[in-house]
Amino acid sequence: MSEPLSNIPRGMRYYCGTEARLRREVEDTAMSVFDGWSYEEITTPSVDYYALFEHGMGRQQAELAFKFTDTDGRLLALRPDVTSSVARAAATLFAGRERPLRLCYAAPVFRQKGQSHAEWRRESTHIGCELIGADGIEADMEVVAIAVEVLQRLELAQHDYCITLNDVEIFNGVAERLALDDSARERMRRLVDSRDAAELQNFLAPHASTDERAGFARLIQLSGKQETLAEARRLITNPRSVAALNRLEELWRVIESLDLTDYFEIDFGDVSGLDYYTGLTFKIYLSGAGTRVGGGGRYDKLTSNFGRPEPAIGFVFDLDALTDVLARSNTSVAMREQDGTVAPLSNDDPATLFFEATAMRAKRERVLIKSGEAVQCRN
């Protein structure tokens, strides 16, 4: 055999000791917050038809999945996301249930390659929730509030995290006004995504007036609070974008009334996942992580793939990215030691030994069986 068995595939890892405990604690924290907002846990299949993800996530994202074939030759994939499968369940299994549906999950997802070189993992755990069959500002605010509560419960310092908000309809309105074809639209999306204002102005030259170009180039670099909304209104006037700005402003007012504006930024340059999201999008950044640790948004078109169009919104946290940051930080969640000491039990008579041990376990005390002799590794 040429490859030593000690090798681990690229992008895979073990969790043990403090990190494993921390990871469990973060997961439990998030799941208890979901439960607190009346979200019901759902476990989806780890393996599913590739076609599900192709329709659910869009071809570009689904292509990142690990693929293999079923006995009948159909293409399968190790799930690269959970949302696709949840959306299918909503349209099929839960078709008859009262709306809205509130579902949550914690499950590993697999992708062959990340968006960025810094996302080196090929297995990561998504903790997320989906609110299906609810529309409007209330539904949007509900999931945003849940995301904030999870971060607050992780006891992160106030300036250590930030949730950025945008609405994809702002970009869509501009693209529609410029009457761009698909490839031009994708090129514009990339320029906006990388905040390349200068190139964007060049790109827009044949499509828009000088003022319009300068305005839009300025918009994509705008990031901030309330004042950015006012500025965006001066720069963008097409009705589709304006409607989106109105929604965003309404949401902002709620955030403001809850005194949560310190945790939020409006970011008009966030245009990833455009063919997936249909309204509000948000991304979660944590100090100490070079890439985002979570994100989500409204995806009203997704469930129509499964024969039942309805509004939906949701988000995920990347458990592993969160754990990495917390493990390196000095937050109390990370510093908390496993509590309680334990006295090793030993007895030459196994019956007595285990009588004692099970009695202690009945009282929920921690036990440690001390073996007579530790067995040495035989090599």
**Interacting residues with other proteins (CB under 8 A):** 115-118, 159-162, 164, 194-199, 221, 223-224, 265, 267, 269, 283, 285-292
Q: Are 87 and 129 in contact (CB under 8 A)?
A: no
162/302 with CB nearer other proteins: 162
Cβ nearer to other proteins, comparing 56 with 269: 269
C-beta of 55 vs 292, nearer to other proteins: 292
Distance in angstroms (rounded) separating the CA atoms of residues 234 and 214: 12
Nearer to other proteins, 117 or 363 (CB): 117
The residue type found at 245 is L
Minimum CB separation of residue 269 from other proteins in Å reads: 8
Residue 93's φ and ψ, nearest 5 degrees, are -55, -45
Q: Quick one: 194 or 304, whose CB is closer to other proteins?
A: 194
Least Å from the CB of residue 164 to other proteins: 5
Closest to other proteins by CB, 80 vs 269, is 269
Residue 74: count of CB within 10 angstroms of its CB? 10
Of 162 and 236, CB closest to other proteins: 162
Contacts of 171-175 with CB under 8 Å at 24 or more apart are 171/241, 171/271, 171/274, 172/240, 172/241, 172/274, 173/236, 173/238, 173/239, 173/240, 173/241, 173/242, 173/243, 173/244, 174/216, 174/236, 174/238, 174/241
Cβ 154 to other proteins shortest distance, Å: 16
Residues 98 and 307: their CA atoms lie apart, in Å, by 17
CB of 104 to other proteins, least distance (A): 25
For 335-363, b/e burial (b = at least 16 CB within 10 A) is: eeeeeeeeeeeeeeeeeebeeebeeeeee
Distance set, CA 134 to CA 73, 82, 245 (Å): 38, 19, 20
* Distance in angstroms (rounded) separating the CA atoms of residues 274 and 287: 26
Min dist CB 114 to other proteins, Å, is: 9
